[in-house]
Protein backbone atom coordinates (compact mmCIF):
# COMPACT_ATOMS: atom_id res chain seq x y z
CA UNK A 1 0.00 0.00 0.00
CA UNK A 2 1.49 3.38 -1.01
CA UNK A 3 0.88 6.79 0.47
CA UNK A 4 -1.67 8.75 -1.55
CA UNK A 5 -2.79 12.36 -1.65
CA UNK A 6 -6.06 11.35 -3.29
CA UNK A 7 -7.18 8.80 -0.71
CA UNK A 8 -10.46 8.81 1.16
CA UNK A 9 -11.38 11.56 3.59
CA UNK A 10 -10.96 9.38 6.71
CA UNK A 11 -7.48 8.15 5.78
CA UNK A 12 -6.28 11.63 4.88
CA UNK A 13 -7.68 13.05 8.12
CA UNK A 14 -5.94 10.30 10.15
CA UNK A 15 -2.78 10.65 8.01
CA UNK A 16 -2.85 6.99 7.08
CA UNK A 17 -2.05 5.25 3.83
CA UNK A 18 -5.11 4.52 1.72
CA UNK A 19 -5.40 1.83 -0.96
CA UNK A 20 -8.02 4.01 -2.73
CA UNK A 21 -10.34 1.05 -3.24
CA UNK A 22 -13.79 2.24 -4.26
CA UNK A 23 -16.45 2.54 -3.07
CA UNK A 24 -14.85 1.52 0.30
CA UNK A 25 -11.14 1.31 1.08
CA UNK A 26 -9.82 -1.54 3.21
CA UNK A 27 -9.12 0.61 6.28
CA UNK A 28 -12.65 2.03 6.39
CA UNK A 29 -14.12 -1.41 5.69
CA UNK A 30 -12.17 -2.93 8.59
CA UNK A 31 -13.22 -0.09 10.91
CA UNK A 32 -16.83 -0.18 9.74
CA UNK A 33 -16.53 3.55 8.99
CA UNK A 34 -18.09 5.62 6.24
CA UNK A 35 -15.70 5.96 3.31
CA UNK A 36 -15.82 9.18 1.31
CA UNK A 37 -13.70 10.51 -1.52
CA UNK A 38 -13.87 14.30 -1.46
CA UNK A 39 -11.98 16.92 -3.40
CA UNK A 40 -11.22 19.91 -1.19
CA UNK A 41 -10.62 23.28 -2.80
CA UNK A 42 -8.24 25.56 -0.91
CA UNK A 43 -8.36 29.22 -1.82
CA UNK A 44 -4.81 30.50 -1.83
CA UNK A 45 -3.10 27.11 -2.34
CA UNK A 46 0.44 26.57 -1.01
CA UNK A 47 2.14 29.40 0.79
CA UNK A 48 4.35 31.58 -1.37
CA UNK A 49 7.29 30.90 0.93
CA UNK A 50 7.18 27.19 -0.07
CA UNK A 51 6.62 27.74 -3.78
CA UNK A 52 8.47 29.05 -6.80
CA UNK A 53 6.95 32.43 -6.00
CA UNK A 54 8.73 32.62 -2.64
CA UNK A 55 10.87 35.52 -3.72
CA UNK A 56 7.77 37.68 -3.85
CA UNK A 57 7.42 37.46 -0.07
CA UNK A 58 10.86 38.96 0.43
CA UNK A 59 10.03 42.09 -1.50
CA UNK A 60 7.69 43.34 1.23
CA UNK A 61 4.94 44.11 -1.28
CA UNK A 62 3.00 40.89 -0.68
CA UNK A 63 0.90 40.12 2.36
CA UNK A 64 -1.17 37.11 3.37
CA UNK A 65 -4.84 37.80 4.20
CA UNK A 66 -6.41 34.88 6.07
CA UNK A 67 -10.18 35.27 6.33
CA UNK A 68 -10.95 31.92 7.96
CA UNK A 69 -9.04 28.95 9.28
CA UNK A 70 -6.87 27.57 6.47
CA UNK A 71 -8.43 29.90 3.91
CA UNK A 72 -6.41 32.85 2.64
CA UNK A 73 -5.41 34.93 -0.33
CA UNK A 74 -2.29 36.93 -1.15
CA UNK A 75 -2.54 40.60 -2.00
CA UNK A 76 -0.18 43.49 -2.64
CA UNK A 77 0.40 46.29 -0.19
CA UNK A 78 1.04 48.81 -2.97
CA UNK A 79 -1.06 49.75 -5.96
CA UNK A 80 0.80 49.70 -9.25
CA UNK A 81 0.33 52.61 -11.61
CA UNK A 82 0.36 50.26 -14.58
CA UNK A 83 -3.06 48.81 -15.45
CA UNK A 84 -3.39 45.11 -14.64
CA UNK A 85 -4.39 42.81 -17.46
CA UNK A 86 -6.01 39.43 -16.98
CA UNK A 87 -5.48 36.88 -19.71
CA UNK A 88 -8.58 34.97 -18.66
CA UNK A 89 -11.67 35.78 -16.61
CA UNK A 90 -12.24 33.40 -13.69
CA UNK A 91 -15.87 32.64 -12.87
CA UNK A 92 -16.15 31.64 -9.17
CA UNK A 93 -19.70 30.36 -9.81
CA UNK A 94 -18.79 28.01 -12.66
CA UNK A 95 -19.41 24.90 -10.55
CA UNK A 96 -22.97 25.93 -9.61
CA UNK A 97 -26.12 24.77 -11.30
CA UNK A 98 -28.30 27.23 -13.19
CA UNK A 99 -30.83 27.23 -10.34
CA UNK A 100 -28.13 27.87 -7.72
CA UNK A 101 -26.74 30.72 -9.78
CA UNK A 102 -30.19 32.27 -10.10
CA UNK A 103 -30.89 32.04 -6.36
CA UNK A 104 -27.42 33.30 -5.41
CA UNK A 105 -27.78 36.22 -7.80
CA UNK A 106 -31.18 36.98 -6.30
CA UNK A 107 -29.71 36.90 -2.78
CA UNK A 108 -26.92 39.32 -3.67
CA UNK A 109 -29.21 41.81 -5.41
CA UNK A 110 -32.55 41.43 -3.60
CA UNK A 111 -32.98 38.91 -0.77
CA UNK A 112 -30.05 40.28 1.25
CA UNK A 113 -32.01 43.54 1.49
CA UNK A 114 -34.64 41.91 3.73
CA UNK A 115 -32.56 42.41 6.89
CA UNK A 116 -30.25 45.23 5.80
CA UNK A 117 -31.02 48.81 6.81
CA UNK A 118 -28.43 50.45 4.58
CA UNK A 119 -26.14 49.73 1.66
CA UNK A 120 -22.97 49.22 3.70
CA UNK A 121 -24.61 46.50 5.78
CA UNK A 122 -25.87 44.70 2.67
CA UNK A 123 -22.43 44.95 1.06
CA UNK A 124 -20.66 43.57 4.15
CA UNK A 125 -23.22 40.79 4.46
CA UNK A 126 -22.62 39.60 0.90
CA UNK A 127 -18.84 39.93 1.16
CA UNK A 128 -18.80 37.72 4.25
CA UNK A 129 -21.33 35.10 3.20
CA UNK A 130 -20.81 34.50 -0.53
CA UNK A 131 -17.13 33.35 -0.51
CA UNK A 132 -17.89 31.10 2.45
CA UNK A 133 -21.00 29.67 0.75
CA UNK A 134 -18.93 28.60 -2.28
CA UNK A 135 -17.01 26.26 0.04
CA UNK A 136 -19.87 25.19 2.31
CA UNK A 137 -22.71 23.23 0.63
CA UNK A 138 -24.92 23.66 3.71
CA UNK A 139 -24.55 27.45 3.73
CA UNK A 140 -25.03 27.59 -0.05
CA UNK A 141 -28.30 25.67 0.25
CA UNK A 142 -29.44 27.85 3.17
CA UNK A 143 -28.80 31.02 1.14
CA UNK A 144 -30.66 29.46 -1.78
CA UNK A 145 -33.57 28.68 0.55
CA UNK A 146 -33.67 32.26 1.82
CA UNK A 147 -33.68 33.53 -1.76
CA UNK A 148 -36.42 31.04 -2.63
CA UNK A 149 -38.53 32.43 0.24
CA UNK A 150 -38.25 35.83 -1.34
CA UNK A 151 -39.24 34.30 -4.67
CA UNK A 152 -42.19 32.48 -3.04
CA UNK A 153 -40.77 29.06 -3.89
CA UNK A 154 -39.31 27.69 -0.67
CA UNK A 155 -37.52 24.34 -0.87
CA UNK A 156 -35.11 23.69 1.99
CA UNK A 157 -34.81 19.90 2.11
CA UNK A 158 -31.44 19.61 0.39
CA UNK A 159 -29.56 21.66 2.98
CA UNK A 160 -30.44 19.26 5.80
CA UNK A 161 -28.15 16.43 4.70
CA UNK A 162 -25.27 18.84 3.98
CA UNK A 163 -25.68 20.53 7.36
CA UNK A 164 -25.67 17.22 9.24
CA UNK A 165 -22.56 16.04 7.36
CA UNK A 166 -20.67 19.25 8.15
CA UNK A 167 -21.57 19.08 11.84
CA UNK A 168 -20.61 15.38 11.96
CA UNK A 169 -17.19 16.24 10.53
CA UNK A 170 -16.58 18.67 13.38
CA UNK A 171 -14.35 16.21 15.20
CA UNK A 172 -11.82 16.54 12.38
CA UNK A 173 -12.02 20.34 12.16
CA UNK A 174 -14.80 22.43 10.71
CA UNK A 175 -15.48 25.94 9.56
CA UNK A 176 -17.21 27.27 12.66
CA UNK A 177 -18.39 30.45 10.96
CA UNK A 178 -19.87 28.54 8.03
CA UNK A 179 -21.95 26.39 10.40
CA UNK A 180 -23.13 29.39 12.42
CA UNK A 181 -23.88 31.34 9.24
CA UNK A 182 -25.90 28.36 7.98
CA UNK A 183 -27.93 28.24 11.20
CA UNK A 184 -28.51 31.99 10.96
CA UNK A 185 -29.49 31.96 7.29
CA UNK A 186 -31.83 29.01 7.62
CA UNK A 187 -33.46 30.51 10.70
CA UNK A 188 -34.20 33.64 8.67
CA UNK A 189 -35.52 31.49 5.83
CA UNK A 190 -37.93 29.70 8.19
CA UNK A 191 -39.08 32.96 9.83
CA UNK A 192 -39.48 34.92 6.61
CA UNK A 193 -41.40 32.01 5.08
CA UNK A 194 -43.96 32.47 7.84
CA UNK A 195 -42.78 29.65 10.15
CA UNK A 196 -44.76 27.00 8.30
CA UNK A 197 -43.33 24.27 10.54
CA UNK A 198 -43.84 24.97 14.28
CA UNK A 199 -40.63 25.55 16.25
CA UNK A 200 -38.43 25.00 13.18
CA UNK A 201 -36.83 28.44 13.43
CA UNK A 202 -36.31 27.99 17.18
CA UNK A 203 -34.36 24.80 16.51
CA UNK A 204 -31.89 26.76 14.38
CA UNK A 205 -31.50 29.44 17.06
CA UNK A 206 -30.83 26.72 19.64
CA UNK A 207 -28.24 25.26 17.26
CA UNK A 208 -26.59 28.67 16.96
CA UNK A 209 -26.58 28.93 20.75
CA UNK A 210 -24.80 25.57 21.02
CA UNK A 211 -22.18 26.68 18.49
CA UNK A 212 -21.59 29.96 20.32
CA UNK A 213 -21.31 28.07 23.60
CA UNK A 214 -18.66 25.80 22.08
CA UNK A 215 -16.74 28.90 21.03
CA UNK A 216 -16.79 30.27 24.59
CA UNK A 217 -15.55 26.92 25.90
CA UNK A 218 -12.63 27.01 23.51
CA UNK A 219 -13.66 23.98 21.44
CA UNK A 220 -13.87 25.85 18.16
CA UNK A 221 -10.94 26.32 15.75
CA UNK A 222 -8.51 29.25 16.07
CA UNK A 223 -9.75 32.41 14.41
CA UNK A 224 -8.33 35.25 12.34
CA UNK A 225 -9.12 38.99 12.52
CA UNK A 226 -11.58 38.70 9.63
CA UNK A 227 -13.13 35.59 11.17
CA UNK A 228 -13.49 37.46 14.47
CA UNK A 229 -15.32 40.25 12.65
CA UNK A 230 -17.68 37.71 11.12
CA UNK A 231 -18.28 36.05 14.51
CA UNK A 232 -19.10 39.48 15.94
CA UNK A 233 -21.66 39.98 13.20
CA UNK A 234 -23.18 36.53 13.82
CA UNK A 235 -23.26 37.12 17.57
CA UNK A 236 -25.17 40.34 16.97
CA UNK A 237 -27.71 38.46 14.87
CA UNK A 238 -28.07 35.83 17.62
CA UNK A 239 -28.72 38.34 20.41
CA UNK A 240 -31.03 40.34 18.17
CA UNK A 241 -33.24 37.33 17.45
CA UNK A 242 -33.12 36.26 21.12
CA UNK A 243 -34.20 39.75 22.19
CA UNK A 244 -37.17 39.85 19.81
CA UNK A 245 -38.15 36.32 20.82
CA UNK A 246 -38.17 37.39 24.46
CA UNK A 247 -40.22 40.49 23.70
CA UNK A 248 -42.76 39.02 21.29
CA UNK A 249 -42.59 35.23 21.57
CA UNK A 250 -45.69 33.37 22.66
CA UNK A 251 -43.54 30.71 24.34
CA UNK A 252 -40.78 31.06 26.98
CA UNK A 253 -37.85 32.98 25.53
CA UNK A 254 -34.77 31.10 24.42
CA UNK A 255 -32.80 32.65 27.28
CA UNK A 256 -35.31 31.86 30.05
CA UNK A 257 -32.88 29.40 31.63
CA UNK A 258 -30.38 32.27 31.87
CA UNK A 259 -33.00 34.63 33.35
CA UNK A 260 -32.99 36.47 30.05
CA UNK A 261 -29.75 38.11 31.05
CA UNK A 262 -27.75 39.96 28.47
CA UNK A 263 -26.47 43.38 29.27
CA UNK A 264 -24.15 46.00 27.89
CA UNK A 265 -21.26 44.85 30.10
CA UNK A 266 -21.36 41.17 29.08
CA UNK A 267 -22.15 41.88 25.43
CA UNK A 268 -19.76 44.70 24.54
CA UNK A 269 -17.63 45.66 27.54
CA UNK A 270 -17.99 47.76 30.68
CA UNK A 271 -16.85 51.05 29.14
CA UNK A 272 -18.75 50.87 25.84
CA UNK A 273 -21.62 53.29 25.19
CA UNK A 274 -25.14 52.09 24.57
CA UNK A 275 -24.73 51.52 20.84
CA UNK A 276 -27.71 51.60 18.52
CA UNK A 277 -27.12 48.43 16.53
CA UNK A 278 -27.90 49.14 12.89
CA UNK A 279 -28.57 45.44 12.35
CA UNK A 280 -31.33 45.38 15.00
CA UNK A 281 -32.74 48.90 14.81
CA UNK A 282 -32.55 49.33 18.60
CA UNK A 283 -29.89 49.76 21.29
CA UNK A 284 -28.00 47.11 23.24
CA UNK A 285 -29.46 48.15 26.60
CA UNK A 286 -32.96 47.98 25.13
CA UNK A 287 -32.27 44.41 23.96
CA UNK A 288 -31.41 43.52 27.57
CA UNK A 289 -34.76 44.99 28.65
CA UNK A 290 -36.54 42.87 26.02
CA UNK A 291 -34.93 39.77 27.51
CA UNK A 292 -35.89 40.84 31.01
CA UNK A 293 -39.53 41.32 29.98
CA UNK A 294 -39.57 37.89 28.32
CA UNK A 295 -38.13 36.27 31.43
CA UNK A 296 -40.48 37.98 33.90
CA UNK A 297 -43.52 37.22 31.72
CA UNK A 298 -43.09 33.53 32.55
CA UNK A 299 -42.48 34.06 36.27
CA UNK A 300 -44.43 35.50 39.18
CA UNK A 301 -43.47 39.09 38.44
CA UNK A 302 -43.62 41.46 41.41
CA UNK A 303 -44.57 45.14 41.25
CA UNK A 304 -41.02 46.07 42.25
CA UNK A 305 -39.62 44.09 39.30
CA UNK A 306 -42.03 45.63 36.81
CA UNK A 307 -41.31 49.09 38.25
CA UNK A 308 -37.57 48.52 37.72
CA UNK A 309 -38.18 47.60 34.08
CA UNK A 310 -40.44 50.66 33.66
CA UNK A 311 -37.72 52.90 35.10
CA UNK A 312 -35.07 51.40 32.78
CA UNK A 313 -37.20 51.98 29.67
CA UNK A 314 -38.05 55.58 30.56
CA UNK A 315 -34.41 56.33 31.42
CA UNK A 316 -33.42 55.19 27.92
CA UNK A 317 -36.23 57.23 26.38
CA UNK A 318 -35.21 60.39 28.26
CA UNK A 319 -31.59 59.94 27.23
CA UNK A 320 -32.53 59.35 23.58
CA UNK A 321 -34.55 62.60 23.47
CA UNK A 322 -31.56 64.72 24.46
CA UNK A 323 -28.73 62.84 22.70
CA UNK A 324 -28.05 61.64 19.16
CA UNK A 325 -27.78 57.87 18.72
CA UNK A 326 -24.34 56.30 19.05
CA UNK A 327 -23.38 53.72 16.43
CA UNK A 328 -20.56 51.20 16.34
CA UNK A 329 -17.22 52.62 15.14
CA UNK A 330 -17.07 53.11 11.38
CA UNK A 331 -20.85 53.07 10.84
CA UNK A 332 -21.97 56.67 11.23
CA UNK A 333 -19.56 57.85 8.52
CA UNK A 334 -21.71 56.03 5.93
CA UNK A 335 -25.03 57.37 7.23
CA UNK A 336 -26.76 60.52 6.06
CA UNK A 337 -28.57 62.86 8.44
CA UNK A 338 -31.87 61.35 7.25
CA UNK A 339 -30.64 57.81 7.98
CA UNK A 340 -29.57 58.76 11.50
CA UNK A 341 -32.94 60.40 12.15
CA UNK A 342 -34.78 57.33 10.86
CA UNK A 343 -32.70 55.05 13.09
CA UNK A 344 -33.60 57.26 16.03
CA UNK A 345 -37.30 56.92 15.16
CA UNK A 346 -36.92 53.16 14.74
CA UNK A 347 -35.30 52.83 18.16
CA UNK A 348 -38.10 54.94 19.68
CA UNK A 349 -40.69 52.61 18.11
CA UNK A 350 -38.99 49.66 19.79
CA UNK A 351 -38.88 51.55 23.11
CA UNK A 352 -42.65 52.04 23.00
CA UNK A 353 -43.02 48.36 22.04
CA UNK A 354 -41.23 47.50 25.27
CA UNK A 355 -43.57 49.78 27.22
CA UNK A 356 -46.62 48.09 25.69
CA UNK A 357 -45.33 44.62 26.52
CA UNK A 358 -44.43 45.75 30.04
CA UNK A 359 -47.98 46.91 30.65
CA UNK A 360 -49.74 44.04 28.90
CA UNK A 361 -47.59 41.07 29.84
CA UNK A 362 -46.23 42.06 33.26
CA UNK A 363 -48.79 44.45 34.71
CA UNK A 364 -51.88 43.07 32.90
CA UNK A 365 -52.96 46.62 32.05
CA UNK A 366 -56.17 46.80 29.95
CA UNK A 367 -55.58 47.47 26.28
CA UNK A 368 -57.71 50.66 26.28
CA UNK A 369 -55.59 52.32 28.99
CA UNK A 370 -54.09 55.74 28.10
CA UNK A 371 -50.51 54.50 28.69
CA UNK A 372 -50.84 51.75 26.09
CA UNK A 373 -52.74 53.82 23.55
CA UNK A 374 -50.14 56.63 23.72
CA UNK A 375 -47.43 54.12 22.86
CA UNK A 376 -49.56 52.64 20.05
CA UNK A 377 -50.03 56.08 18.52
CA UNK A 378 -46.33 56.95 18.81
CA UNK A 379 -45.21 53.70 17.15
CA UNK A 380 -47.53 54.40 14.23
CA UNK A 381 -46.27 57.99 14.05
CA UNK A 382 -42.62 56.83 13.98
CA UNK A 383 -43.35 54.32 11.23
CA UNK A 384 -45.23 56.93 9.21
CA UNK A 385 -42.34 59.40 9.55
CA UNK A 386 -39.81 56.79 8.38
CA UNK A 387 -42.13 55.68 5.59
CA UNK A 388 -41.58 53.24 2.73
CA UNK A 389 -38.31 53.71 0.89
CA UNK A 390 -37.20 52.53 -2.52
CA UNK A 391 -33.70 52.05 -1.11
CA UNK A 392 -32.46 50.43 2.10
CA UNK A 393 -33.62 52.06 5.34
CA UNK A 394 -34.69 51.23 8.93
CA UNK A 395 -38.19 50.83 7.44
CA UNK A 396 -37.39 47.13 6.89
CA UNK A 397 -37.02 46.59 10.67
CA UNK A 398 -40.52 47.75 11.64
CA UNK A 399 -42.51 44.52 11.44
CA UNK A 400 -42.24 43.85 15.19
CA UNK A 401 -43.20 47.35 16.42
CA UNK A 402 -46.08 47.60 13.93
CA UNK A 403 -47.34 44.17 14.94
CA UNK A 404 -47.18 45.00 18.67
CA UNK A 405 -48.95 48.31 18.09
CA UNK A 406 -51.54 46.62 15.87
CA UNK A 407 -52.42 44.12 18.58
CA UNK A 408 -53.42 46.95 20.93
CA UNK A 409 -54.84 49.30 18.29
CA UNK A 410 -58.51 50.25 18.01
CA UNK A 411 -60.59 52.18 15.49
CA UNK A 412 -58.58 54.34 13.11
CA UNK A 413 -55.27 53.11 14.59
CA UNK A 414 -56.14 49.62 13.33
CA UNK A 415 -56.66 50.99 9.85
CA UNK A 416 -53.30 52.77 9.98
CA UNK A 417 -51.50 49.66 11.27
CA UNK A 418 -53.07 47.67 8.43
CA UNK A 419 -51.94 50.25 5.87
CA UNK A 420 -48.38 50.40 7.19
CA UNK A 421 -47.94 46.62 7.31
CA UNK A 422 -49.36 46.33 3.79
CA UNK A 423 -46.87 48.97 2.63
CA UNK A 424 -44.04 47.12 4.39
CA UNK A 425 -44.96 43.88 2.63
CA UNK A 426 -45.15 45.67 -0.72
CA UNK A 427 -41.66 47.05 -0.10
CA UNK A 428 -39.74 43.95 1.01
CA UNK A 429 -42.02 41.09 -0.08
CA UNK A 430 -41.40 38.96 3.01
CA UNK A 431 -44.20 36.41 3.63
CA UNK A 432 -43.79 36.80 7.40
CA UNK A 433 -44.99 40.41 7.15
CA UNK A 434 -48.11 39.20 5.39
CA UNK A 435 -48.54 36.59 8.14
CA UNK A 436 -48.34 39.40 10.73
CA UNK A 437 -51.19 41.17 8.98
CA UNK A 438 -53.25 37.98 8.70
CA UNK A 439 -52.66 37.25 12.39
CA UNK A 440 -53.87 40.72 13.35
CA UNK A 441 -57.05 40.31 11.30
CA UNK A 442 -57.74 37.01 13.10
CA UNK A 443 -56.92 38.50 16.50
CA UNK A 444 -59.13 41.53 15.97
CA UNK A 445 -62.03 39.32 14.89
CA UNK A 446 -61.69 36.29 17.20
CA UNK A 447 -59.92 37.35 20.42
CA UNK A 448 -61.89 36.84 23.61
CA UNK A 449 -62.58 39.72 25.98
CA UNK A 450 -59.40 40.50 27.95
CA UNK A 451 -57.30 38.04 25.93
CA UNK A 452 -53.93 39.45 24.84
CA UNK A 453 -52.25 38.32 21.65
CA UNK A 454 -49.83 35.97 23.44
CA UNK A 455 -52.76 34.12 24.99
CA UNK A 456 -54.57 34.11 21.66
CA UNK A 457 -51.52 32.68 19.87
CA UNK A 458 -51.21 29.98 22.53
CA UNK A 459 -54.88 29.08 22.19
CA UNK A 460 -54.54 28.92 18.41
CA UNK A 461 -51.27 26.93 18.77
CA UNK A 462 -49.29 29.42 16.71
CA UNK A 463 -45.51 29.74 17.04
CA UNK A 464 -44.91 33.08 15.45
CA UNK A 465 -42.35 35.88 15.64
CA UNK A 466 -42.94 39.18 13.79
CA UNK A 467 -39.37 39.59 12.52
Residues 283 and 396 in one domain: yes
61 with 28, same domain: the answer is: no
Residue 343 predicted with pLDDT over 50: yes
Its domain, for residue 307, covers 260-467
362 bridge partner residues: none
| Domain CATH number, residue 15 | 4.10.240.10
- 374 shares a domain with 328: yes
Same domain, 358 and 429: yes
Number of domains comprising the chain:
4
Kindly state whether residue 248 falls inside one of the protein's structural domains: no
- Whether 264 is covered by a domain: the verdict is yes
Phi, psi of 202 (to 5 degrees): -65, -35
Same domain, yes or no: 70 and 153: no
pLDDT tens digits for range 75-95: 655 544 555 555 556 677 777
Asked if residue 322 belongs to a domain, the reply is yes
In a domain, 151, yes or no: yes
pTM for this predicted structure? 0.72
Those residues whose C-beta lies under 8 Å from the C-beta of residue 59, and which sit 6 or more positions away, are none
Give the N- to C-terminal CA distance of the chain in Å, as an integer. 57
| Residues 259, 299: Cα–Cα separation, whole Å | 10
Residue 289 in domain: yes
Asked if residue 328 and residue 467 are part of one domain, the reply reads yes
Residue 233 lies in a domain: no
- What is the model's pLDDT at position 370? 96
b/e 395-413 (16+ beta carbons within 10 angstroms → b): bbbbbbbbbbbbbbbeeeb
**CA-angle at 208, arms to 202 and 211, nearest 5°:** 145
Nearest partner of 190 among 220, 166, 159, 219, judged by Cα: 159
Answer yes or no: is 243 within a domain: no
Residues 268 and 296 occupy one common structural domain: yes
Q: Are residues 17 and 141 in the same domain?
A: no
**Tens digits of residue pLDDT in 252-263:** 556 544 443 444
Query: Do residue 359 and residue 412 come from a single domain?
Result: yes
Domain shared by 310 and 453, yes or no: yes
Asked whether the predicted pLDDT for residue 308 surpasses 80, the reply is yes
If you ran DSSP here, which 8-state letter would residue 60 be given?
T
323 is a domain residue: yes
306 and 174 in a single domain? The answer is no
pLDDT band at 286 (very low <50, low <70, confident <90, very high): very high
Are 276 and 423 within one domain? yes
Amino acid sequence: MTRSFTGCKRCKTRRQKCDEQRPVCRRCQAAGAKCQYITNLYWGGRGFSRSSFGDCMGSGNIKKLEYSRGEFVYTTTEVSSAPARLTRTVDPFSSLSARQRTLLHHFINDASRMTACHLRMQDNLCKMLIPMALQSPALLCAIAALSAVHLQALGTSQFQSYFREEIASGAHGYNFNALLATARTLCLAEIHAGAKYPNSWRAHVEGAKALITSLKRGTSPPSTPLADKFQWYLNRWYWGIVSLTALTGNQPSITTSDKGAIDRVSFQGSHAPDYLDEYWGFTVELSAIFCRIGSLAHEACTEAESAAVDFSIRRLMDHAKDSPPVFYPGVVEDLSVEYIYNFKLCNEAFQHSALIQLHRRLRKTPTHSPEIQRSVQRILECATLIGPSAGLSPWVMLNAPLFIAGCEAHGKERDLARQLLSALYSTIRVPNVLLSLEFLEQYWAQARIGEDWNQFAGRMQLDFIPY
